[in-house]
């Protein structure tokens, strides 16, 4: 089991989006996945990137970070500035450890805990969201924010993983 998780063949860049596609603007993460996946299918410009998505973050996702040069998490947020924020992450065991959905910083802390070394450089792109009702569609403003974030990821993050704001 341990050998199979060394992830020697991992793509150098991981973009990990998360959210529930059926909870209104919480779909921003999975929608970013869809846009990037479609772009890759059409252009093959993202060969160095692996795209992953899930409902939420949990401890096993620390294994997905192994062997990466850089990691970008993408999530919806009701508290970030419009249209999105891009920040560097630091490993930190916060209270999300006790819940069923962990923060990206807590995932980095789990990585450090199980590997006994620092995780790869990791960043969080939060896209401004407004509503999270089950069965709701994504709102119009959230779609605008998503579009800007998508182009930012393409034009900035993949060529220069350091945050630009």
Partner 1 sequence: MPPPLESAQNPQALKRVVIEPLTRVEGHGKVTLLQDEHQNIKQARLHITEFRGFEKFIQGRPYWELPVLVQRLCGICPVSHHLAAAKATDMIVGARELTPTADKIRRLMHFGQTLQSHALHFFHLCSPDLLFGFDDDIRHRNIVGVIEDHPEIAKQGVLLRKYGQEVIRITSGKRIHGTGAIPGGINKSLTKREVAYLQKDITQIIGWAQDSVALVKKIFFEHYEYHLAFASIESNMMSMVSPNGAFELYDGGLRARDPRGESIFDHAPYDQYGQYIREGIKNWSYMKFPFITSIGQEHGWYRVGPLARVNNCDYFTTPLAEIERKEFMAMGQGTPVQSTLAYHWARLIELLHCTEAIAELLNDRDLHGTDLLNKGELQNSGTGVIEAPRGTLFHHYEIDEQGIVEKASLIVSTTNNNQAMNESIRRVSNQYLDGNTLTEALLNQVEVAIRAYDPCLSCATHAIGKMPMQINLLNENNELVDRLEKRANGLIDRTL
> How many Cα neighbours within 13 Å face the side chain of 106?
16
Using the minimum distance from each CB to partner 1, give the nearer residue, 44 or 100.
100
Q: Should residue 117 be labelled a site residue for partner 1 when binding is judged by CB under 8 A?
A: no
Q: At what angle do helices 28-43 and 140-152 cross, to 10 degrees?
A: 50
* Minimum CB distance to partner 1 smaller for 14 or for 161: 14
Nearer to partner 1, 110 or 127 (CB): 110
CB of 15 vs partner 1, minimal distance in Å: 15
Residue 152 touching partner 1 (CB under 8 A): no
Query: Smallest Cα–Cα separation from 60: which of 124, 5, 116, 117?
Result: 5
Asked whether position 8 contacts partner 1 by CB under 8 A, the answer is: no
Do 27 and 21 contact (CB within 8 A), yes or no? Answer: yes
The three-point CA angle 127-133-134 to 5° equals 115
Looking at 7, 11, 34, 54, which residue binds partner 1 (CB under 8 A)? 54
**In the complex, what is the shortest distance from the CB of residue 74 to partner 1, in angstroms, rounded to a whole number?**
15
d(CA 130, CA 83): 11
Cα three-residue angle 86-89-94, rounded to 5 degrees: 125
Return d(Cα 108, Cα 114) in angstroms, integer: 10
Instruction: Determine, following the binding rule CB under 8 A, whether residue 66 of this chain makes contact with partner 1.
Output: no
The distance of closest approach from Cβ of residue 78 to partner 1 in the complex, given in angstroms and rounded to an integer, is 6
Does the footprint of partner 1 cover residue 9 (CB under 8 A)? no
Residues that bind partner 1 (CB under 8 A): 1-2, 4-5, 20-23, 26, 52-56, 58-60, 62-63, 78-79, 94-101, 110, 113-114, 132-135
């Amino acid at each position: 089991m341990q050998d199979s998780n060394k992830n020697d063949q991992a793509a150098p860049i991981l973009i990990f989006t998360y959210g529930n596609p059926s909870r209104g603007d919480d779909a921003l993460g999975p929608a970013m996945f869809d846009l990037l996946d479609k772009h890759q299918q059409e252009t093959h410009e993202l060969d160095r990137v692996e795209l992953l998505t899930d409902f939420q973050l949990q401890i096993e996702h620390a294994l997905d970070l192994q062997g990466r040069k850089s990691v970008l998490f993408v999530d919806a947020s009701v508290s970030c500035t419009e249209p999105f924020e891009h920040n560097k992450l630091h490993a930190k065991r916060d209270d999300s450890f006790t819940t069923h959905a962990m923060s990206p910083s807590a995932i980095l802390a789990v990585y450090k805990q199980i590997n006994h070394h620092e995780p790869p450089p990791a960043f969080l792109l939060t896209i401004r969201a407004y509503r999270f009702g089950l069965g709701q569609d994504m709102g119009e403003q959230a779609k605008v924010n998503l579009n800007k974030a998508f182009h930012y990821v393409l034009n900035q993050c993949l060529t220069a993983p350091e945050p630009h704001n």
